[in-house]
Structure 1
Amino acid sequence: MQRILLAVLGLTLSMGLTTGCATIKRANVGRTAAAILISDEQEEQLGRQVKQELETKEKIKYVEDPAVVEYVRNVSTRILQQANKDRKNVKWKVNVIDDPKMVNAFATPGGYLYVYTGLLLAADNEAELAGVMGHEAGHVVGRHSAQAMMLQYGEQAVIEAALGKNANMVAQLAASLAGTGAGLAFSRGNETEADELGARYTSAVGYAPQGLVTFFGKLAAQEGQTPGVLKWLSTHPPSSERVSHLTTYISQKGLTGSDLGADRLAAIKQRVRK
């Protein structure tokens, strides 16, 4: 397996030296390696195990209001249809966690997406929510979770976990995602790719693609004032360079869209507050 991985990395890198930008080359190398080591089926198994751990050990509480859940899933569905054009066969599962003090969202292998009600309350409009969901979908499309897990826990540990032979690693990951640890740390290249994909997906369905940019700016301004804000900032640091890159990317790619959906989100925020 190791020889196969090295061969794939060597071939991908040699091809990348003559085409594309440096960021895309590195992203493709990592994505190819993750795909070789962990199959789509194993990613789905990992995601399912993490979900079970979150529910049984971490005791996360899902939103019971069907209107709120349906709203988030409807917003996500349009974004995920775009994501499936870049990575087919992902069976997305969107979950809404009831915690108004936690401004957070995360994705796990296999297309499991989670958003906290605190993030719904922090967003000013639907375009910002769509931007965050597009960003998290981008992590799945790029196989970033699998890459980060291999770097954090080691290739063998991740493979064993996918086969159901490493419950301890799954428990550690679930605990970190639930907010009791550091969480998965994505590389700078992974975050850039997820930003770009999120902007593309939101623009493609008519949302203002600047939603993620404005959401970053708002959270950065609140840092230190609202403890829950730090959760998403800790794994998605909105540096000025990163925000500037995304703004430039939107302009250069001619990404358009004007739908903000502020009124639609406002109605849902009222239900969440109740």
Structure 2
Amino acid sequence: MQQRILSAFLGITLAVGFSTGCAKQRIQAEKTVADILITDQQEEEIGLQVKQELEQKEKIQYVTDPTVTEYVNRIATPILQQANKDRKGVKWKVSVINDPKTVNAFATPGGYLYVYTGLLLAADNEAEVVGVLAHEAGHVVGRHSARAMVNAYGIQAITQLALGKDPGTAAQIAAQLVGGGAQLAHGRSEETEADEYGAKYSAGSNYDPRGLITFFQKLQKMQGDTPGVLKWLSTHPTNAERINHLEQYITQNGLRGSEIGADRLAPIKQKLGGK
């Protein structure tokens, strides 16, 4: 009975969101369902299982050099502090993956953020790295993975997870997340929302919010020469319309920041074997 009532209520919530025809109202309806069904603790459990899957099956190697790991965590800290204002209860964990050929970063449920050394080497300055980190934090704040779970697995399966009736669901979701590239694909509206969070959090930390834009532009130019870049572009497709929207969002909201940080990133790139 409890499951039927909950499923019916959530079905009505989604139906109302879709019937409005407004993307923002649909997103809010999906987020409401995700907020009700998937707790922070459940997201963290799934994120931990994804991490274990990555380590055991993908054999990823983390950077252990404290100079690099402390640097990434230091520049991530003000971004995550900004993110905590919009979503409390996330226990952020930042890891650096040692793979200089892969220009990528991604976030998984529970606030797990992963940055490849290839991204650090590809960026021209700290503001670009911060922009990417802020964008990924935006996916977590917007509960994009949780919303994708609802869409991918259906209300009934997620309701059973929420009610504790299907303890294997979390493990199944984690395995499929890793199999799909450690993340569920985000739609255009989710990417737009994450872009806006990225600019907002960058500026809130006094970094130039256009760092994300210049990084997007760089990836587009690199696409033909560096196959690893496709790992980012395949899950974060970039086009002129998306960049223009971000430019307009920054201007309309008066977002600005003075920090660029090319001088601080340079020695990290040298340490990682870059120029």
Instruction: Mark yes or no: TM-score above 0.5.
Output: yes
Q: Matched residues in 2 for 1:137 and 1:184: separation? A: 15
Calculate the TM-score normalised by the size of structure 2.
0.90
Structure 1 pair 201–124 and aligned structure 2 pair: CA distance change class (3 A) = same
Give the drift of 1:49: 0.8
Which residue of 160, 165, 168 corresponds with 2:168?
Answer: 165
Shift of 1:54: 0.8
Q: Given the alignment, which residue of 11, 18, 23 partners 1:6?
A: 11
Residue deviations 1:110-166 (CA, integer Å, cap 9, x gap)? 101001000001111000000000000000000001112332344455566786413
What 5-or-longer segments of structure 1 have no aligned partner?
Answer: none
Instruction: Tell me, yes or no, if the aligned pair for 1:93 and 1:112 is still in contact at 8 Å.
Output: yes
CA contact (8 A) 2:14 2:26 kept: no
1:36 to partner: Cα distance: 1.4
Q: How many aligned residue pairs are there?
A: 265
- With 26-35 and 194-203 compared, the bigger mean Cα shift is at 26-35
Q: Distance in 1 between matches of 2:53 and 2:149?
A: 16
Residue 119 of structure 2 is aligned to residue 119 of structure 1: yes
The reply to whether residue 35 of structure 1 matches residue 35 of structure 2 is yes
Task: Return the letter of the residue paired with 2:176.
Answer: Q
2:181 is paired with a residue whose SS is helix
Q: Distance in 1 between matches of 2:86 and 2:234?
A: 27
What is the alpha-carbon distance in structure 2 between the residues aligned to residue 28 and residue 161 of structure 1? 21
Distance 1:109 1:11 in 2: 26
Alpha-carbon separation, structure 1, partners of 2:158 and 2:118:
31
Quote the residue 2:3 is aligned against: none
Give, in whole Å, the separation in 2 of the partners of 1:6 and 1:158. 12
Which one-letter code corresponds to 2:177 in the other structure? L
Tell me if structure 2 keeps the 8 A contact 1:100–1:116: yes
1:23 CA displacement: 4.0
The equivalences for 1:120-269 within 5 A come to 120-157=120-157, 164-166=167-169, 167-177=171-181, 183-269=183-269
Deviations 1:77-114 (A, max 9, x none): 11000000000111100011000001110001110100
Q: Is the 8 A contact 1:27 1:142 kept in 2?
A: no
Aligned amino acid, residue 97 of structure 2 = I
SS in 2 for 1:107: strand
Displacement after TM superposition at 1:223 (Å): 1.1
Farther off after superposition, 211-220 or 154-163: 154-163
Conserved? CA contact 2:144–2:186, under 8 Å: yes
| Paired residues of 1:200 and 1:209 also in contact (CA < 8 A) | yes
Amino acid at match of 2:227: P
Summarize deviations over 1:25-68 as a string: whole Å, max 9, x none.
23212211111121111111110111111111211100011110
Kept in 2, the 8 Å contact 1:117–1:272? The answer is: yes
Equivalents in 1 of 2:71, 2:80: separation in Å? 14
The answer to whether the 8 A contact 2:47-2:174 is kept is no
3-state SS of the aligned residue for 1:106?
A: strand
Relative distance call for 1:155 and 1:61 in structure 2 (3 A) is farther
Q: Report the Cα distance in structure 2 between the residues aligned to 1:217 and 1:65, rounded to whole angstroms.
A: 30
